[in-house]
């Protein structure tokens, strides 16, 4: 029975390539898929490209992963799929071609998929009555039209599979859905039909369990992080699928853990409704799924069902929202929190006199409530025993000048405020705030194309 093994080589732009390189060198895999894109990554890339047209993709895919082990992957017939193309697929392809030519990899086939960037289609879609409703809050899409950086649809597996069908050794996309990078090779190899919803759902969940890299094999592991072996050499998960089986494992001789608990954490990650996990390829039902430990670092997945895919595609719209400053002062024991709180009061009184017109001011205390916010333990006992406390004041405004007003008031507090203050990290500066408008677009508005470039 045919088995396909695919590794998850990247969890985000900036993730370590070490596990991917280890898989190429030591694991028995046919494919490696690498996810580089989070929701706002494309906006960052779009802003970079505005300053320099050569930028806008994830260069470390080439300079780190391919440079270290890409030729070895090619020689071992390990095919790589990635959305590292970001906002500049052509730039990424050119970088790969240049690298392959230097390596004398003649005949190396670079596949790439276009069509996820639909910014130029927005005016026509608005004319046709599409309103781009916001998933998270009420708002009029017209209000951000002149502030948009990018409009990228979460495309499915079809374009990637098209490149693999043409013999691509590496496939580059823009905003492909994370799990589509994994479904495409599985569908290509196992011959699933376009409406075989149960198998497509299996492929999507294979991708879902691998798309976050080390998070699926003991990294960010809430259940028992202390027991994860060799976390400094953390291996990333591998999915092995046949017509009948679906296993999660990892490469030999590396750290990490694959167990029922670690798989469960990733299994439910970002899944709002287990009976209806919507993707561009299939609506997945994991409400009756099973996870069974079948051996060391091996978990079998079963009971996954699928339903027809949606008629709309998720659209990631990144736009300029305003400006912010983030200022910090640390205070030492005794009474660290009381001093930090009093300092915040002093600064805000000064800001009131300066007439600062902020749209939002957020004050929190690192080491106390900056992460847990309203559910943090703020008991008198906790506050009294703090060895140190960092005051954090974040100011947001649509007016850049208003954000700047607080900056010169921070460092003087070392001598002009409560005792024990320490200024660190340098003077704060005004930063742009990029926001996400999560919405949908009709599936038929997309025109996805597969391309092949062969290195001569």
pLDDT averaged per 10 residues in sequence order, the chain, 456 residues: 96 96 98 95 94 96 98 98 98 98 98 97 96 92 96 98 98 97 98 98 98 96 96 97 97 97 96 96 98 98 98 96 96 95 96 94 94 92 92 96 95 94 88 96 96 97
Q: What are phi and psi of 52, to 5 degrees?
A: -145, 105
d(CA 132, CA 142): 9
CA distance to 84, 159, 423, per residue, from 51 (Å):
19, 29, 33
For 202, how many CA atoms within 13 A lie in the half-sphere containing its CB?
Answer: 26
pLDDT of residue 154: 97
pLDDT of residue 425: 78
pTM, two decimal places: 0.93
DSSP 33-52: EE----TTHHHHHHHHHHH-
d(CA 203, CA 208): 9
CA distance to 143, 194, 222, 288, 322, per residue, from 306 (Å):
38, 12, 29, 12, 41
CA dihedral defined by 254, 259, 262, 265, rounded to 10 degrees? 150
Residue 182, H or E segment: helix 180-190
């Amino acid at each position: 029975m045919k088995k396909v093994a695919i590794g998850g080589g990247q969890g985000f732009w900036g993730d370590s390539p070490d596990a991917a390189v280890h898989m190429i060198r030591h694991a028995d895999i046919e494919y490696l898929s690498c996810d580089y894109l989070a929701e706002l990554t494309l906006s960052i890339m779009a802003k970079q490209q505005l300053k320099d047209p050569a930028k806008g993709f994830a260069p470390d895919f080439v300079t780190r992963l391919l440079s270290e082990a890409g030729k070895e992957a090619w020689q071992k017939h390990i095919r790589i799929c990635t959305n590292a193309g970001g906002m500049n697929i052509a730039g990424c392809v050119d970088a790969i071609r240049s690298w392959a030519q230097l390596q004398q990899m003649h005949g190396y086939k670079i596949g790439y998929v276009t069509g996820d960037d639909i910014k130029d289609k927005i005016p026509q879609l608005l004319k046709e009555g599409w309103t781009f409703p916001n998933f998270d809050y009420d708002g009029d899409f017209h209000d951000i039209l002149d502030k948009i950086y990018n409009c990228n649809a979460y495309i499915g597996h079809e374009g990637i599979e098209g490149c693999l069908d043409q013999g691509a050794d590496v496939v580059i996309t823009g905003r492909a859905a994370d799990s589509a990078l994994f479904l495409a090779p599985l569908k290509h190899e196992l011959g699933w039909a376009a409406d075989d919803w149960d198998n497509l759902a299996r492929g999507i969940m294979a991708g879902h369990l691998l798309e976050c890299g080390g998070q699926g094999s003991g990294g960010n592991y809430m259940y028992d992080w202390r027991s994860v072996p060799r976390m400094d050499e953390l291996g990333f998960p591998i999915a092995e699928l046949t017509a009948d089986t679906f296993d999660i494992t990892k490469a030999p001789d590396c750290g990490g853990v694959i167990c029922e608990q670690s798989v469960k954490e990733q299994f439910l990650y970002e899944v709002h409704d287990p009976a209806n996990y919507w993707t561009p390829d299939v609506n997945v039902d994991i409400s009756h799924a099973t996870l069974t430990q079948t051996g060391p670092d091996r978990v079998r997945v079963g009971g996954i069902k699928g339903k027809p895919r949606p008629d709309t595609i998720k659209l990631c719209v990144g736009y300029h929202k305003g400006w912010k400053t983030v200022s910090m002062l640390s205070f030492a024991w005794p009474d660290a929190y009381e001093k930090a709180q009093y300092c915040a009061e002093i600064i805000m009184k000064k800001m009131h006199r300066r007439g600062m017109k902020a749209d939002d001011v957020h004050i929190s205390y690192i080491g106390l409530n900056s992460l847990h916010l309203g559910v943090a333990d703020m008991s008198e006992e906790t506050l009294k025993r703090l060895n140190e406390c960092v005051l954090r004041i974040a100011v947001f405004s649509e007016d850049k000048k208003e954000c700047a007003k607080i900056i010169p008031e921070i460092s003087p507090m070392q001598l002009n405020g409560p005792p024990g203050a320490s200024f660190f990290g340098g003077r704060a500066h005004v930063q742009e705030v990029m926001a996400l408008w999560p919405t949908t677009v009709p599936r038929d508005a997309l025109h996805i194309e597969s391309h092949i470039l062969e290195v001569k």
